[in-house]
Each structure stands twice: as structure tokens, then as C-alpha cells.
Amino acid sequence: MKKILLYYFLFSLFTGTAVYILQSLSIPLPRIIRFYLNDFLIIPIILFICLQVLKWSKNDKSYNISLPIILYLCFLYSLLFEFIFPTYLARYTKDFVDVILYFVGGFVFYYLQKIKK
């Protein structure tokens, strides 16, 4: 396994969890962290977990997730969390910056999985 992808996953998971816990404890955070950091981190976290399951299920340690699949996941997250959920659930709000962050996170993951040892 490419160590940089694992380290990025662990960093993202730890950071995203810390932000979530700090928000639930009502600890003030800068706006950029409060509103945007987890949107940037979620796609690589989900894709890393999917990649590990696919590597295991296909029994192929060199398997990579293709760019069209990554873009499809980013599109689905954007559609659900920025267009559909805000229409029906008060907890969610439309924010087009989040759409950009989903795709940036997807491209970061794509780049990191392509890095050779």
C-alpha cells in the first residue's frame, strides 16, 4: 500500500473527527474550518475506504479507482448534500463552495493514489 495515501487518510480522519468533536462542544473555530474543512476531507476518506474494500474483494493490491468513478462520487455527494437534502432537511444548507471542495478532495485523492513508490 502506498504509505502517503494511508497517512493522508489517517490525517483526514483524525482532523475531521477533531473538528466534529470541537463543534459539538461549541468550541469556536475559524469559519473556514467550521464550514469547509470537513467537506474537503470527506471524499478522500470515503474513497480510501472504498479502495481498500475493492483491493481486498478483487484480490489486487495494485488496484486504483478510476477518475470517472471519483468524479461520479463527487457528483453524487454534491447532488445529495447541496441540492436534495437542503430541500427537505433543515440541517443542510446549499453552498456551492462545498461542491468545489468535494471535487478538489476527489482530485487530491486521485493524484495521491497515482504516486509511485
Per-residue pLDDT of the chain (117 residues; tens, 9 = 90+): 578 888 999 999 999 999 999 999 999 999 999 889 999 999 999 999 999 999 999 999 889 999 999 999 999 999 999 999 999 988 888 889 999 999 999 999 999 998 865
What global pTM score does this model have? 0.90
Could you tell me the residue range of the domain that residue 21 belongs to? 3-114
Element (H, E) at 16: helix 3-24
Q: How far is CA 69 from CA 31, 62, 65, 86, 87, in A?
A: 31, 17, 7, 25, 26
**Total domain count, the chain:** 1
Whole-number Å distance between alpha carbons of 108 and 117: 17
